[in-house]
Structure 1
Amino acid sequence: GVKVQPLLKDVADNDKLEGTGNIDVNVKGKGLASTAMKKNLSGTVKINSADGAVNGINVAQMIRENYARFKGQSLDGQQGPQKTDFSAMKATLNLANGVVSTKDMTAESPLLRIQGEGSANYVNETAD
């Protein structure tokens, strides 16, 4: 297994994801300038991570806050750590023409089952 957080921090300057797992990379590209290389990357990156967390967001806390608002209640104001723990996370990232996309992102924890899809333009640094 690979420690996911140090790899993402070193390669992509991204510390949002931590955990242990496997990352299978099958990517090719061409170009001498970094922008040209980014635009011409194509292939897939498969992530299979376990016992980790997504940093910067606490999904369980967001659910509790919104449920309390819906019920007309207030929370005690206690903020938990801004991270969402998971027991398993999998995704296949497809790279083409400067865009990375996924249709099969899943994350599981004892309390949550999350499915997601979306895309990000890593040349323009925009996301959907």
Structure 2
Amino acid sequence: MAANGHPIGLERVLFTRSVVIAVPDHVPNGDAASGIAPENAIDINQMKDEPGKYQAVMRSKLNSGGDPSFPYIIDMECIAVLFANDSLSQEEAARGVLITAHSVLYGAIREAVAWITGRQPFGQLMLGLSVLPTKPPETVE
């Protein structure tokens, strides 16, 4: 069990991609930055030969095409290693790790983007919330 009594714990977080480019043709016009939402993808895998240990990878991209109405091109990837103790079923562990990883990784990406853009020519960009998609309803025939 994790030291705080929670069945899911975080071992480490690291960035494997940190790209923030100021769009050279951008002309600030007030609200333009609010119109582009991040494209987020998260992938969770159980680590082989290490029961209860998971690797989570999250990638967030904004303005990949370089639209000049948005001040930055952003491409960030962050990895977390988490563990779930054996008090959880496989399904509970996978769901708990997904929720925890999403929260931790997107929070790290938001913080990094805010810090880096705060030192760029068009000022700080604070990403909004990211919400995990819900499972689509099952079809009953």
The normalised TM-score by structure 2 is 0.27
Give 1 or 2: higher strand fraction: 1
Larger Rg, first or second structure (1 or 2): 2
The normalised TM-score by structure 1 is 0.29
